[in-house]
Amino acid sequence: MYPFFRSLLVGVSALLLSTGLAFASDVAVSNPKVRLMPGDIPSAGYFKLHNGTNETIKLVGARSDAFGMVHMHMSMKKDGMAHMKAVPEIDVAAGEDFEFAPSGYHLMLMKRSAPLKVGDEVVITLEFEGRDPMPVSFKVVSPAAM
């Protein structure tokens, strides 16, 4: 391959990845949102993860420069009580989707280290076992908007 085309391809791939697009045969995230709470109150991150590869992927956590602590959590209901527990890892089978959505799985975002406001974009990096970490740009939304 001509060096020019190779660098063009690399450039285009990097551009596609950095804008959140991904190839059909890859891992993709759609609708990433952070529901921003005021003050030092923890916020929550929601998104849909698509495993377009042909093997199971294992999500093992997330980190962000904007938050001192990011945990994967799950809300549960038992006997009319709302409970929450930390989730150490999530398997997503080949071709499957996994959704972090209100009243279910969420990223609990604590100890905000940078001021954020509604409309901002914030990068949260998803971490997988045996795969490169995946930086995702989350849109910051108002709690009233979800």
Q: Binding residues for another protein, per CB under 8 A?
A: 35, 37-39, 41-44, 69, 73, 75, 77, 80-86, 102-104, 106, 108-110, 142-146
Q: Compute the radius of gyration of the chain from its Cα atoms.
A: 17
Residue 111 contacts residue 68 (beta carbons within 8 Å): yes
Euclidean distance between the first and final Cα of the chain, in Å?
48
Q: State the minimum distance, in angstroms, from the CB of residue 82 to another protein.
A: 4
d(CA 134, CA 136): 6
6/83 with CB nearer another protein: 83
Task: Give the three-state DSSP class for 136.
Answer: strand
Q: State the minimum distance, in angstroms, from the CB of residue 59 to another protein.
A: 17
Residue identified by tokens 């377009």 is 52
Q: State the minimum distance, in angstroms, from the CB of residue 127 to another protein.
A: 19
38/130 with CB nearer another protein: 38
Beta-strand runs (E) in 1-133: 27-35, 43-51, 57-63, 67-78, 81-86, 90-92, 97-100, 105-112, 121-128
Q: State the minimum distance, in angstroms, from the CB of residue 20 to another protein.
A: 23
52/98 with CB nearer another protein: 98
Q: State the minimum distance, in angstroms, from the CB of residue 95 to another protein.
A: 27
25/78 with CB nearer another protein: 78
51/64 with CB nearer another protein: 64
